[in-house]
Amino acid sequence: MERAIVKYQAIIVAVLLLPGGNLIGQSAGGEVPIVRSILVEGNETTKEFVILREMSTRPGDTLNFNRLTYDESRIYSLGLFNRVEIEHMMDGNAADLVVRVHERWYLYPFPILGFKYRDFDNFYYGFGIAHTNFRGRNEKLIFEFALGFDRWIRLIYQTPKLTDGDDVYFRISLSSARVQNLNPDRGLYQQRTQSVLLTLGKRFGLYSLLQASAGYELWKVSDEISGGTLTPGGRDAFFSAGLNFTYDTRDIREYPTQGTLFQINTMKYGFGESVVDFFRYGADASRYTLMPSAITLATRVHGQFTAGGPVPAYRYVYFGYRERIRGYYNRVLEGENLIGANLEVRIPLLSPRYYEFTASPLPEFSVWRYGIYAGIFADAGRIWYRDEGMGVRHWYSGYGAGLHFLLPYSIVIRTEFALNPEDRGEFLIDMAVSF
């Protein structure tokens, strides 16, 4: 355990944008060692290329301990392993690297439980099954369905590489649903929808991914519902296409402590085959700065904007679902344009470490990674319709603090207390990192 603690403390000196690290290993003769080979061990299911493509270190590079620590974090962020360790062995001026991984359980069922609008009368339930490392290639295969107040069935397949020799990303999502509208203030009405979305992308180097997507959507509501669709009669059917660029240098994606995430996107809905005809575009930038005592200063700014024709209600943007403002966590805010900002200080109380559970009947559950952070945060956001202008709606904001629990299998649970400018407080329990 002490060895694991030392390895994670080394993260505080890792350099964000490699390969410019400055902690260089030296051979006994004072020369800078050269990486001669990289060997992967412990990957009984995972293909070797899945691991090596996440490393900034290559044969022929100088030995750099900052980069090795960062590479450990990048490999762990695949979500395929319980533990990742990179060791080196010296042979004169040559260094041989050994990447040791401990694989997770990849095929598992999961329950679906929830309450629409956080109302206990609106209960939905279901079941899903996921394979997170299909064929050992870091491919995702997910099937799920739900019944009750909201009902849906969904199938997703995703691969980071179509073949061993390329870096071409592919994803397909198929879904059919019967769900209630997102904003209860409009009155409740049921929406029936079917959709297919195809995404093809190309990865450039370690950090950049360019994606193009194309899809088809069909939405139906009762023709008695005004504004439920743009087409008279309550049926919208249209194609969509878009582009997305991502630049990502984060270390641990489940709970980043250093790095940068920048995304820019645009999507066109409708191409003359429907009355649906509008653009949505946006950007999202997050920065994670490692400070003394392993404290992280995390900042984020993001926005989604609309242009073109009218927007149907099912394509409005929201605070209160995927995006939230702590302090108004359960408030559903609707509009066509959205901007937000977040600030968070993450303080390690129990730095991430490993525990070996020798009594586990399955080796995939015998290594646990865990840690505890304290978080101090402030959130702000504004949302509006184009015809009313940005200045009509006021800013919503909140601030507070809480504890963040890092659990095995990349599970993060946050318990927080938030206040808003109206001096109203709320206790929150949520899954996953805030941003």
Per-residue pLDDT of 179-204, as tens digits, reads 999 988 888 899 999 999 999 999 99
CB 367 within 8 A of CB 380: no
Whether residue 8 has pLDDT greater than 80? no
The mean pLDDT value for 358-374 works out to 92
The pTM score is: 0.88
Mean pLDDT for the chain overall: 91
pLDDT at 166: 83
Residue 342 burial (C-beta neighbours within 10 Å; 0-12, 13-18, 19+):
buried
pLDDT value at residue 425: 95
Token pair 């195809």 is found at 198
Give the Cα separation of 9 and 412 in Å (integer).
20
Question: CA 4, 9, 14: angle at the middle one, nearest 5?
Answer: 120
Helices of type H across 182-258:
none
Whether residue 20 has pLDDT greater than 70: no
Please check whether residue 285 is in contact with residue 298, taking contact to mean a CB–CB distance below 8 angstroms. no
**Is 401 within 8 Å of 376 (Cβ atoms)?**
yes
pLDDT of 21 reads 41
Asked if residue 10 has pLDDT above 50, the reply is no
pLDDT at 30: 59
Among the listed residues 126, 123, 121, the one whose alpha carbon sits nearest the alpha carbon of residue 146: 126
Query: How confident is the model over 387-406, as a mean pLDDT?
Result: 93
Query: Among 241-245, 287-291, 358-362, 377-381, whose mean pLDDT is lowest?
Result: 358-362
259: tokens are 């790095």
Q: What is the pLDDT of residues 56-74, one digit of tens each?
A: 999 999 999 989 999 999 9
- DSSP code for 54: T
Between CA 333 and CA 316 the distance in angstroms is 10
Q: pLDDT tens digits for 219-242?
A: 999 766 777 899 988 999 999 999
- Return the structure tokens found at 296: 């992280």
% of the chain residues with pLDDT over 90: 80
- Percent of all residues in the chain with a pLDDT value above 70, rounded to a whole number: 92
Report all structural domains of the chain as residue ranges with CATH numbers, in order of start: 2-103 (3.10.20.310), 160-431 (2.40.160.50)
> Residue 3: pLDDT above 70?
no
Question: What separation in angstroms does the CA of 169 have from each of 209, 410, 411, 430?
Answer: 9, 23, 25, 30
Name which of 370, 369, 426, 435 is nearest 402 in CA terms.
426
The separation between the first and the last C-alpha atoms of the chain, rounded to the nearest angstrom, is: 29
> pLDDT class for 392, splitting at 50, 70, 90?
confident
Strands 296-308 and 190-204: unpaired
